[in-house]
């Protein structure tokens, strides 16, 4: 009496053992690697993206050498009255991008500061930790660009404040949405006497 496998291809992975005239086929597999410890698992995880890794670095000196004069690159006394698409620089609408590690809030105001429209990652449908990702910030910026174009706003100034993954992604989203960005101002507040950081987490 013999027990035979019905699939011929699998016979190579089965071993035959005879015991008192009875043949048994049983499957053998390689030694399974032991589960990794928690520390090894945490060490193998990729570093958290804070919005700076992998971003393209702009070489300012190379840009200046391509320009005919420095006045086109950096602001001067006449920049406030310089026309961009027929609008003086001082009267251009301002796009404020408030970035944190948990969310990205984008508002469009006129040159006096009156808010015209506001969007955030939460309003776009991103929930919980997904609100703090650079993809959510980019999608929110693209949506804001569409609303601004419908409102008649094409050329804007950008004011960025805060640190988080959505800093560069929000600006890229505005460009992808069809907005003409004239200037980018970083107003992130820097503390010269910061509070003591938390102790390192032990895993």
Residue-number span of the structural domain to which 110 is assigned: 102-188
Rounded Cα distance, 196 and 164, in Å: 20
106 lies in some domain: yes
Domain count along the chain: 1
8 lies in some domain: no
Rounded Cα distance, 14 and 28, in Å: 6
Q: Looking at the predicted structure, is the pLDDT value of residue 60 above 90?
A: no
pLDDT at 80: 86
Average pLDDT over every residue of 125-132: 90
Higher pLDDT, 109 or 8: 109
153 lies in some domain: yes
pLDDT at 63: 57
199 lies in some domain: no
CATH number at residue 176: 3.30.420.80
pLDDT at 169: 92
pTM of the model: 0.63
39 lies in some domain: no
109 lies in some domain: yes
List, for residues 108-122, the tens digit of each pLDDT value: 999 999 999 999 999
Cα–Cα nearest to 112, from 86, 95, 97, 94 = 94
Judged by average pLDDT, the poorest of 55-64, 127-136, 149-158, 169-178 is 55-64
122 lies in some domain: yes
92 lies in some domain: no
Strand order in the sheet with 115-120: 115-120, 104-109, 94-99, 155-161, 180-186
pLDDT at 19: 52
């Amino acid at each position: 009496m013999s027990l035979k496998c019905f699939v011929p291809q699998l016979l190579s992975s089965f071993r035959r053992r005879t015991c008192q005239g009875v043949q048994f086929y049983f499957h053998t597999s390689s030694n399974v690697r032991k589960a990794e410890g928690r520390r090894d698992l945490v060490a193998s995880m990729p570093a958290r993206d804070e919005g700076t890794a992998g971003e393209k670095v702009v070489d300012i000196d190379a840009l200046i050498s391509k320009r005919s004069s420095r006045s086109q690159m950096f602001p001067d006394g006449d920049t406030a009255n310089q026309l961009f698409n027929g609008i003086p620089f001082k009267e251009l609408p301002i796009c404020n991008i408030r970035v944190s590690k948990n969310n990205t809030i984008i508002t469009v105001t006129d040159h006096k500061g009156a808010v015209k429209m506001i969007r955030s990652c939460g309003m776009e449908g991103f929930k919980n930790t997904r609100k703090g990702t650079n993809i959510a910030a980019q999608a929110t910026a693209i949506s804001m660009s569409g609303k601004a174009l419908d409102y008649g706003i094409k050329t804007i100034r950008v004011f960025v404040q805060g640190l988080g993954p959505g800093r560069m992604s929000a600006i890229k989203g505005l460009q992808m949405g069809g907005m003409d960005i004239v200037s980018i101002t970083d107003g992130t507040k820097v503390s010269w006497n910061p509070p003591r950081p938390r102790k390192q987490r032990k895993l």
